[in-house]
């Protein structure tokens, strides 16, 4: 494994060097196009066009599109765009913005590339596993377009560094996947008068909305979502899953919205102090990959009166407040571990491994959804998804859809899930519904779930 890691690091290093060489070549060709043909910059005849020769070659297909043209390309060339997140949304968005010729492209991300990212985060590669995502993405983007200036911010955006980073750009794309980040990004965009394009994707659906546009007049994220979702309802791709093209489609749409704003010159409004006449209609685009009509738009209200962030002079939010007092984790809440069972109602994976090895009569219920169960499971377990427990009628009703009829009435029931939360919920419900026969039958869960089982008992388990 050490040799494999060393080889991967060497490949990543050489890919980065190659990307830098291509960037230097592009700069040399750029000088040559305005010089005498020898690459030394000696001017034989003045170049009279507003873009350089290689720009016309590279961007001609978009420049001839109606309402884009030369002026649109000039706007794109001088635009400064920041992407917060270099993952499933950020990779395709960055690729299309770099391909379009955005002058400066910044990426913020504090994570490293993992193998599980690769099915959807298309800017990364197997050879760059372990590399910081921003560095991996820049290496990829330089291969695509070495004439763009790239800024890699290898850190997470925080209330303390947000002003320094975001102030360098004209337009921001929120490519993150958690409410804490979304509220922070929206707040700093309001404070610094930056338009914001926010997207999200989960399983087979996604949503997209343009916020704070025009700056100071369009609604912010808090206008649309005044309260964060309950922390227990926030499920990431690691648990809920994601189809690669779904998040890819949303990232591409983010890039498209950014290009639209840039070509119209909207990104320059805050920079120049230009006033926008009237408000644009705000809509949220909803995407359902498995629907008969995958796209639909929901009309949104404008700015919310009394909004904490963007209510104007009456706003409670300031740059100093954001840096010193805002706690976004506390505001969004923390999903606390489930604590429904007593210690004596939970057994360790080592204890269950002994029970199964001795072939003691019992029932093992795996309450993950069928897709998770189909990927991997403990030998002898029966799949009864947690959704069946939450939709069951309750006490006094037939439990045969949860407990097979051929199980002896005194056989203990052990319940397992991914990490030990849903298993407690299921065990508590069975006990509440009388399945423990007033304490005569043991009903409990396996502490730590499949993750603990993989760590301590069966490392070969392809746990996801």
Question: Could you tell me whether strands 363-366 and 382-383 are parallel, antiparallel, or unpaired per DSSP bridges?
Answer: parallel
Q: Is 463 left (phi over 0), alpha (psi -120 to 50) or beta?
A: beta
Q: How many CB atoms lie within 10 A of CB 163?
A: 14
175 catalytic, yes or no?
Answer: no
Q: Is 370 annotated as a binding residue?
A: no
Smallest Cα–Cα separation from 251: which of 78, 87, 46, 45? Answer: 87
Q: Is 307 annotated as a binding residue?
A: yes
Q: Is 223 annotated as a binding residue?
A: yes
Q: Is 236 left (phi over 0), alpha (psi -120 to 50) or beta?
A: beta
Smallest Cα–Cα separation from 173: which of 157, 149, 160? Answer: 157
Backbone angles phi, psi at 304, to 5 degrees: -90, 125
Task: Compute, in degrees rounded to 10, the torsion defined by CA atoms 115, 155, 166, 212.
Answer: 50
Q: Cβ neighbours of residue 196 under 8 Å, at least 6 residues apart?
A: 171, 172, 173, 174, 185, 186, 189, 210, 211, 212, 213, 220, 221
Beta bridge partners of 105: 81, 150
Smallest Cα–Cα separation from 100: which of 213, 208, 256, 210? Answer: 256
Q: Cβ neighbours of residue 357 under 8 Å, at least 6 residues apart?
A: none
Q: Is 111 annotated as a binding residue?
A: no
Q: Is 109 annotated as a binding residue?
A: yes
The whole-angstrom separation of Cα 245 and Cα 170 is: 28
The whole-angstrom separation of Cα 318 and Cα 343 is: 47
Q: Which residue has the tokens 């006094």?
A: 396
Tokens of 464: 């996801």
The whole-angstrom separation of Cα 199 and Cα 196 is: 10
User: Which residue in 175, 189, 332, 417 is the catalytic one?
Assistant: 417
Smallest Cα–Cα separation from 258: which of 321, 325, 319, 211? Answer: 211
237 catalytic, yes or no?
Answer: yes
Percent of the chain as helix, strand, coil, to the nearest 5: 40, 15, 45
Q: Is 75 annotated as a binding residue?
A: no
Q: Is 120 annotated as a binding residue?
A: yes
The answer to whether 451 and 419 are in contact (CB under 8 A) is yes
Beta bridge partners of 270: none
Query: Is the bond into 214 cis (omega within 30 degrees of 0)?
Result: yes
User: Which residue in 91, 189, 237, 332 is the catalytic one?
Assistant: 237
Q: Is 410 annotated as a binding residue?
A: no
Q: Is 175 annotated as a binding residue?
A: no
Give the count of alpha carbons within 13 A of 460, CB side only. 2
Q: Is 177 annotated as a binding residue?
A: yes
Catalytic residue list: 237, 417
**Binding residue numbers for Zn(2+):** 220, 223, 307, 310
**Binding residue numbers:** 88, 109, 116-120, 133, 177-178, 220, 223, 307, 310
**Binding residue numbers for ATP:** 88, 109, 116-120, 133, 177-178
């Amino acid at each position: 494994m050490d040799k494999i890691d060393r080889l991967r690091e060497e490949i990543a290093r050489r890919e980065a060097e190659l990307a830098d060489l291509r960037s230097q070549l592009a700069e040399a060709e750029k000088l040559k196009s305005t010089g005498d043909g020898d690459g030394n910059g000696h001017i034989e005849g003045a170049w009279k066009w507003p873009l350089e020769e290689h720009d016309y070659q590279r961007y001609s297909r978009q420049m001839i599109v109606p309402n884009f043209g030369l002026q649109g390309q000039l706007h794109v060339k001088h635009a400064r765009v920041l992407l917060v997140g270099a993952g499933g949304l950020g990779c395709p968005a960055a690729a299309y913005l770099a391909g379009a010729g955005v002058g400066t492209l910044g990426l913020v991300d504090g994570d490293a590339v993992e193998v599980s990212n690769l099915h959807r985060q298309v800017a990364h590669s197997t050879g760059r596993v372990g590399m910081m995502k921003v560095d991996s993405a820049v290496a990829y983007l330089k291969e695509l377009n070495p004439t763009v200036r790239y800024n890699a911010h290898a850190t997470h955006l925080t209330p303390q560094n947000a002003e320094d980073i975001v102030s360098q750009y004209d337009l921001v794309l929120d490519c993150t996947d958690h409410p804490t980040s979304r509220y922070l990004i929206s707040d700093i965009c309001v404070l610094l008068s930056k338009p914001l394009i926010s997207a999200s994707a989960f399983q087979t659906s996604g949503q997209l909305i343009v916020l704070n546009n025009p700056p100071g007049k369009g609604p912010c994220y808090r206008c649309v979502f005044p309260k964060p979702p309950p922390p227990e309802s926030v499920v990431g791709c690691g648990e809920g899953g994601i189809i690669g093209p779904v998040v890819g489609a949303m990232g591409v749409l983010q890039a498209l919205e950014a290009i639209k704003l840039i070509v119209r010159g909207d990104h320059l409004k805050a920079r120049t102090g230009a006033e926008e006449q009237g408000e644009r209609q705000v809509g949220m685009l909803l995407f359902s990959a498995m629907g008969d009509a995958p796209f639909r738009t929901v009309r949104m209200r404008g700015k919310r009166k009394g909004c904490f962030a963007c209510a104007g002079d009456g706003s409670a939010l300031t740059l100093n407040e954001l840096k010193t007092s805002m706690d976004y984790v506390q505001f969004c809440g923390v999903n606390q571990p489930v604590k429904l069972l007593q210690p004596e109602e939970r057994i360790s994976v080592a204890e269950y491994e002994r029970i199964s090895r001795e072939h003691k009569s019992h029932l093992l219920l795996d309450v993950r959804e069928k897709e998770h169960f189909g990927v991997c499971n403990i030998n002898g377990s029966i799949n009864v998804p947690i959704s069946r427990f939450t939709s069951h009628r309750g006490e006094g009703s037939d439990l045969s859809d949860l407990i097979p009829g051929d199980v002896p009435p005194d056989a203990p029931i052990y319940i397992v899930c991914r990490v030990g939360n849903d298993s407690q919920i299921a065990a508590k419900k069975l006990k509440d519904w009388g399945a423990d026969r007033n304490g005569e039958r043991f009903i409990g869960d396996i502490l730590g779930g499949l993750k603990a089982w993989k760590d301590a008992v069966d490392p070969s388990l392809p746990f996801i």
